[in-house]
């Protein structure tokens, strides 16, 4: 099954389209790792999968994500404003490639919201 991010809804009034493409790429990379539910048949073949959606982000998770993206973008003479660069930032961060941005533990909390531990 192919990952398809549900970008509907809002978080404290902030919608997906309000985010920069850089932040969108970062969030999409982060949520790709949060498979919420998988249904399979008796042979183990995947019938359906459900990933965390944009609206599942806790407000503080979104706020930190935006702040971290802005902090990294500000280090560049020409600010990168594309989703591919945001995606690479998340991946390299999780690999420990940025001393100023240590890896994060991303989890789905008991209230169904995506939070950093």
pLDDT, position 7? 95
pLDDT, position 20? 94
CA angle 18, 15, 23 (to 5 degrees): 55
Let me know if residue 1 belongs to a domain: no
Let me know if residue 68 belongs to a domain: yes
Domain of residue 43: give its range. 10-116
To which residue do tokens 């073949």 refer? Answer: 45
CA distance 96 to 90: 10
Let me know if residue 73 belongs to a domain: yes
Let me know if residue 3 belongs to a domain: no
Let me know if residue 17 belongs to a domain: yes
The domain total for the chain is 1
Q: Is 48 exposed, middle or buried (0-12, 13-18, 19+ CB in 10 A)?
A: exposed
Strands (E) in the chain, as ranges, are 10-11, 14-15, 35-40, 46-51, 106-108, 114-116
* Full pLDDT tens readout for the chain, 117 residues: 567 888 999 999 999 999 999 999 999 999 987 765 555 556 666 455 667 899 999 999 999 999 999 999 888 888 778 999 999 999 999 999 999 999 999 998 999 899 998
pLDDT, position 46? 47
**Bridge partners, 114 (sequence order):** 57, 108
Let me know if residue 2 belongs to a domain: no
CB 65 within 8 A of CB 23: yes
Let me know if residue 5 belongs to a domain: no
Let me know if residue 41 belongs to a domain: yes
């Amino acid at each position: 099954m192919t990952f398809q991010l549900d970008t509907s809804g809002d978080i404290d009034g902030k919608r997906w389209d309000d985010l920069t493409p850089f932040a969108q790429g970062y969030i999409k990379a982060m949520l790709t790792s949060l498979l919420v539910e998988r249904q399979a048949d008796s042979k183990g073949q995947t019938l359906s999968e459900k990933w965390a959606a944009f609206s599942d982000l806790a407000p503080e998770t979104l706020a930190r994500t935006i702040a971290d993206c802005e902090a990294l973008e500000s280090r560049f003479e020409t600010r990168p404003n594309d989703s591919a660069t945001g995606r690479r930032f998340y991946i390299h961060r999780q690999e420990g490639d940025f001393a100023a941005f240590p890896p994060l533990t991303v989890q789905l909390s008991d209230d169904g919201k995506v939070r950093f531990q």
